[in-house]
Amino acid sequence: MRLDRFLSNLPRFNRQDARQLISQGRIRLDGQECRDAQAEVREFSRVQLDDELLQAGKAARYFMLHKPVGVVSATCHPEHRTVLDLLDEPDKDDLHLAGRLDLNTSGLLLISNDGLWTRRLTLPGSKQPKVYRVQTEQPISTEYIEVFARGLYFAYEDLTTLPAELEILGSHSARLTLHEGRYHQVKRMFGHFQNKVIGLHRERIGPLELGDLPVGNYRVLSDEEVAAF
Ligand code: URA
């Protein structure tokens, strides 16, 4: 919400008071004097009038998790353990997932209570590369490289997938980089060749790599990692 709106929503100020306080330089946003009535106040923002605290601001939390196979990417589920069950954190109801992985997929998952950040990451236009290691039932031929780079038509969504890069690692294994996240995208792309994916693991999203984070563990992201998106 805009700063002037935030202030005039408080019982003690009307719109004129709000404008005046801002133009007098009496409002501080996250510790800095703010004279911009349109500055954005979020639930995480600290707002002060002179030295008086008007809003403390919630702590924004950002995590990366190494999702194991068999744990569901949801905040609650009637049958399976969820990824949130793996987090030893307070106020887990506040947390949401930046994208999902299938039940039988492992790897990097990002979790936060900052809805703007998770949305930015998951918007179709975000184009953050997502890197997967894939194991297949049938051999992978070099023909796949060109077909994936050209894009595949998905009739259900009536779209052609963005060019994807395939690096063949072995007869039945490859590394695939996608620049979007369609439903079951990797499995459907290999499905084009009637080749079943029998192992799928996400190694990276944009600049964030899972590295040697053990399976089932999680860690807090650094300020630089959060800002990278
Ligand atoms: N593509 C899939 O098919 N499954 C996933 O979990 C992620 C990408």
Predicted pLDDT at 75:
85
- pLDDT of the residue at 114: 95
**Pairing outcome for strands 130-136 and 173-178:** antiparallel
For the chain, residues classed under CATH 3.30.2350.10 are 62-223
Residues of the chain with CATH 3.10.290.10: 3-55
Residue 184 CA: nearest ligand 1 atom is 3
Q: Which residues of the chain have pLDDT under 50?
A: none
Nearest CA to ligand 1 atom 7: 101
Tell me the C-alpha distance between 94 and 61, whole Å.
Answer: 10
pLDDT value, residue 73: 95
The pLDDT value recorded for residue 123 is 81
- Look at residue 127 in the predicted model and tell me its pLDDT: 78
The per-residue pLDDT for 122 is 86
Tell me, what's the pLDDT at 124? 72
Tell me yes or no: is domain 3-55 CATH 3.40.50.300. no
Length of the chain: 229
Sequence letter at residue 208: L
- Asked if 102 is an active-site residue, the reply is yes
Which fold is adopted by the domain 62-223? Pseudouridine synthase (3.30.2350)
Taking only Cα atoms into account, the Rg of the chain, rounded to an integer number of angstroms, comes to 23
Q: Which of 102, 114, 212, 223 is catalytic?
A: 102
